[in-house]
Each structure stands twice: as C-alpha cells, then as structure tokens.
Structure 1
Amino acid sequence: MKLKRTLFTFALIFSIALVAPAQQFRALVFSKTAGFRHQSISDAVVALKKMGKTQVFSVYTTEDAGEFTDEKLAKYDVVILTTTTGTIFNAEQKAAFQRFVQSGKGVVGIHSATDTEYEWPWYNKMIGAYFLSHPAQQTLRLDVVDQTHPSTWHLPKNWLWTDELYEFREINPDIKVLIKADESTYKVARGNGENHPMAWYHEFDGGRVFYTALGHVESAWEEDDFLKHLYGGIWYAATGEPYK
C-alpha cells in the first residue's frame, strides 16, 4: 500500500511537471540605488513579477550587486535595471556585466537607469545617454516615431502621457529612437529640442539594449499601454526577436 501511494505521488508530480509551462527566458530585475530612490520601485517590482507570470518568463529580483558575477549572470538572458541610481557596481561587478552583454545577452533600462554610473564610459554608451534634468511632472504628447518594434507595435502615433520627463546629455548617436517627446506640448527644464528621445534600443558590444524613460509615477505600473511597451522591450532584449 505504501509503495502504491509513493508511486501515485511520483506520477502526480511528474504529470504536473509535464503540463507546467516552459519559461521563455530568465530575467534579473535589479533595483539597487545609491542616489535618489524612487517610490515607484516597489510598484515596479510587483508589476514585473506579475508580468513574468502572465507572459511566462522567470523573474528574480534583487538589490544585491553580488549577483553580478560570471557564474550567477550566466543563469539570465536579460538584466532589467529598474530605476537604479548612482554608482552601484564595483570593478569586478562591472567586468562581469560587460562580459554578460558581450556574450550576446540583453539589458533593459527603466527611467533612472540613465541616472546611474556616471563615471563608467562603457555604461553610458550601453544604456544610451545620461540624465541631465527634468521639469515638474506633466502631461505631454509623445511622438511614436517607430511602430515596427515590439515595444511600440500597440501604440498610437500620438501618445498622451503623464510622467516625470527626463532630458538627456551624452546621447549615444548609435541608438535607434522609438519615441520622442514633443517639447511644444509641455514646459521643459533645459530641453533636448526637436530630437528629444524618450525610448530607444540598439545592439551594443555583442548584446541588445532597450531603454524607456517612462515609469517614474506609481500609476504607470498599472497602465496597460506602458506595461505592453515595457514587455516588448524586455522581449526584444532577452530574445532578439524579431530583429535577429
């Protein structure tokens, strides 16, 4: 009787394993801050965990930069820099992160990922720009200039949005801009002029990078269009689809 019960339990576990969905890819959600800390980080982590369940990819969240070793990073397909700020890596962690990208993996930067690692030139080129300034939170017209990317497939050409609107310096000229801010529709701080990028992607040093400046306000993390925008960027960075 005991043997039958054991065999039944084993068969049940095996059958569950067979029907459990395979994960599309593995994401490291990293939200360490060494500067300003956004209140929306907790909302972002919750939303990304939920997104992983809905879109069938695995999510591991941490603020421990000790995860950035060759051995640990090998487990992931994409690193999602979730509103990070300041100097968050030591020399060994930087080197491991570079090798991760060079191995063909992906990086996603959200909002203040551009307010991070100001003294690391490789990072500046990789993430695409550095934060310069921002005005008060406002509503504006976002101009979706490329609707062929998975992060923008669902978006209208004119997207009305409310957020903390980043302005940038040291913009990598090789980034492929997806969304621009229409500065005629809001009060700028310093501004970037007619070419004010708000979301972009590019291939860099062997890997794939997607960045969106959106996501400062907590309500963004419950907004379908933003979450679809972000998931499209994550999917691209993790898999290269449809740009292999």
Structure 2
Amino acid sequence: MKRTIKITLRVLLCIILFAGATTAIFLYKIKNGFPVSYETEKPAINFPPNQPAILIFSKTTGFRHAESIKASLPVFSEIARENNWFIYQTEEGGIFNPEQLKRFKVVVFNNSTGRVLNDEQQEFLSQYVESGGTLLGIHGAGDDSHHWPWYETHLLGTRFSHHPLNPQFQKTAVHVALDVDSTLTRNLPAVWTNEDEWYVFFSQPEGMRIVSYINGNKIIPNGNLLWIRDKNFGMGQNHPVAWYRNVGKGKTFYTSMGHSKEVWQNKNFVQMIENAIIWSE
C-alpha cells in the first residue's frame, strides 16, 4: 500500500511540474515570442502596373491567432479585387527591404505577434513609414510581445496590459468618433456592435487620434489568472479600440479588434479596415 501511495504521489508531482513548465513556456511565448529564424531572402514579386500594392504580413512568433488570420486572407483578397489593388500575402520577413517596401502603399501587420523582423528589417520598416508609407496593425499587432520601442511609440502610443478572461469575448457597442478624417469613418454607422477580445492598455494612446471607442464600463475587463492579481482594471468610459497618427511623411493606424474569425464576417469591421487602407493614399 505504501509503495502504491509513493508511486501515486510521484506521478502527481510529475504532472504538476509538467503543467507548471508548460504554463510558464506558454506565458513566455505570449510575452516574448519564440523566433526561430529571420527570413532575409528577397522574394520575387511581379508588381502589376497601375495597381496600388498592399502587403499583408501575418508572421507570428508569439501567440498565433490562427483562425482570424486564415479568415482574413480571403477578405483582404476581396477588398483588393473591389478596389483594383494588388495584394501580396506573406509570412516571410525577406520582403522588408527598401527596394520592395517602397512599392507598397500600406503594410498590414495582420495579427503579427512576437519579434518577427531582425534589427535591419525593423529599421527598413521605420524608414518606410517615415518616408511616406503606412503601417496598419490589427489586434495581436498591439500586444506586448514585440519589444520594439519605435513600433510601440508610433503604432500604439501606449502599452498593452491584458485582455478579459471571464468572459474572454464580450459583445458591446463600438462608437465612431466624429472629429477624425472622414475617410476613416466612410460608410460606417455612428454606433455598431462587435464581439471581441477587448484589449486593455495601461493608458490612453499618446499622440494619437481616436477613430473608435467602446464604453469600458459596460464590459468586464478583469484579466486576473491564478497568481496574477493586478489585472482587474479597465480603461473607463472612453476605451479606445482604433486610432491613428502621422509619422514623419507617413501614417500609422491600429485597431485592437480582430481576435477571432467571426470578426471578418462583421461588415462594419471590414469596412473600417478597407477605409484605413484607402486613407493611406
């Protein structure tokens, strides 16, 4: 009997240690990503004449929003078809070179998480934006796994804290600001509804113009988990969910919406993304 008890206790201990190690690895990946390699080979691209080019970059080294990324690609293709745009979808970082970047009117970080570019490629992207290009970020592109000061300052203007956990997804009204570039609000109702994983940031985005916001008092923002007990705050009544700014001669636009595949079936969300791409011109 004693031998059986000892064996049982050892098995339980191994299970606990394994679960703890797995959780620690998962949390580390979410916050830092696990870069395996940085692609540097320049791709061969045939840019069609007289078609604005859009780069959809979906590489992840942190948490992967796989369903949202998969659902987004045909939507981007349809938007491009309707607007006569050339769209190039990739997860290879070699595209981030000066010669090819300048051919794109906008670069979309499509739920990209973790460190996805090496130092040189990051510099090329920042130069692209400051020289007149546009960087557009969706959802995971704004989490805290990127560790890139220029990116955090010029795309986000704030730092990610957490997202709600119970419930993780909540439906609420999205309000469209009235005092922003009308291109960004084109064909959008003043208020529309979306269900999403609402990111909570430590502060209002600094130096940004808010495009859309929710009433943060109407969601449950608590992100406490196990030993994490300081993630029980929200952003109040004016909780921003989309914003933009000018950066040098270029622009950035970010929305914290876009976690799940269902959001790509929301015509107002898709309209907002389409507006942001048109606005980049």
Residues 162 and 31 of structure 1: CA distance in aligned 2, closer, same or farther (over 3 Å)? same
Residues 84 and 55 of structure 1: CA distance in aligned 2, closer, same or farther (over 3 Å)? same
1:145-204 deviation digits (Å, cap 9, x = unpaired):
236532323222222211111111365411000111112222112311233210011101
Aligned to 2:109: 81
In the aligned structure 1, how far is the partner of 2:268 from the partner of 2:207?
Answer: 26
Aligned to 2:39: none
1:93-132 matches, cutoff 5 A: 93-115=121-143, 118-128=146-156, 129-132=158-161
Aligned to 2:14: none
Residues 21 and 227 of structure 1: CA distance in aligned 2, closer, same or farther (over 3 Å)? farther
Aligned to 2:214: 181
Structure 1 segments, 4+ long, off by >4 Å, are none
Aligned to 2:98: 70
The unaligned stretches of length 5 or more in structure 1 are 1-19, 240-244
RMSD: 1.9
Aligned to 1:34: 61
Preserved CA contact (<8 Å) 1:87 1:117: yes
Q: Percent identity?
A: 32
The structural deviation recorded for 1:235 is 1.1
In the aligned structure 2, how far is the partner of 1:187 from the partner of 1:200?
Answer: 22
The structural deviation recorded for 1:205 is 2.8
Range with greater deviation from structure 2 (221-230 or 82-91): 221-230
Aligned to 1:57: 85
Select which of 155, 177, 201 maps to 1:145.
Answer: 177
TM-score (norm 2): 0.73
Residues 93 and 106 of structure 1: CA distance in aligned 2, closer, same or farther (over 3 Å)? same
The structural deviation recorded for 1:59 is 0.4
In the aligned structure 2, how far is the partner of 1:31 from the partner of 1:82?
Answer: 5
Q: Aligned with 1:43: secondary structure? A: helix
Aligned to 1:197: 240
Preserved CA contact (<8 Å) 1:88 1:117: no
In the aligned structure 2, how far is the partner of 1:44 from the partner of 1:88?
Answer: 19
In the aligned structure 2, how far is the partner of 1:28 from the partner of 1:127?
Answer: 17
1:156-167 matches, cutoff 5 A: 156-167=189-200
The structural deviation recorded for 1:131 is 2.4
Q: Aligned with 1:59: secondary structure? A: strand
In the aligned structure 1, how far is the partner of 2:73 from the partner of 2:146?
Answer: 24
TM-score (norm 1): 0.83
Range with greater deviation from structure 2 (186-195 or 72-81): 186-195
Aligned to 1:46: 74
Residues 182 and 172 of structure 1: CA distance in aligned 2, closer, same or farther (over 3 Å)? closer
In the aligned structure 2, how far is the partner of 1:82 from the partner of 1:116?
Answer: 15
Q: Aligned with 1:165: secondary structure? A: coil
In the aligned structure 1, how far is the partner of 2:144 from the partner of 2:93?
Answer: 14
Preserved CA contact (<8 Å) 2:62 2:114: yes
Name the amino acid aligned to 2:59. Answer: K
Aligned to 1:14: none
Preserved CA contact (<8 Å) 2:210 2:244: yes
Name the amino acid aligned to 2:134. Answer: G
Preserved CA contact (<8 Å) 1:112 1:131: no
In the aligned structure 2, how far is the partner of 1:113 from the partner of 1:119?
Answer: 11
Aligned to 1:15: none
Q: Is 1:206 aligned with 2:249? A: yes
Preserved CA contact (<8 Å) 1:27 1:60: yes
In the aligned structure 1, how far is the partner of 2:162 from the partner of 2:145?
Answer: 16
Name the amino acid aligned to 2:160. Answer: F
Preserved CA contact (<8 Å) 2:192 2:268: no
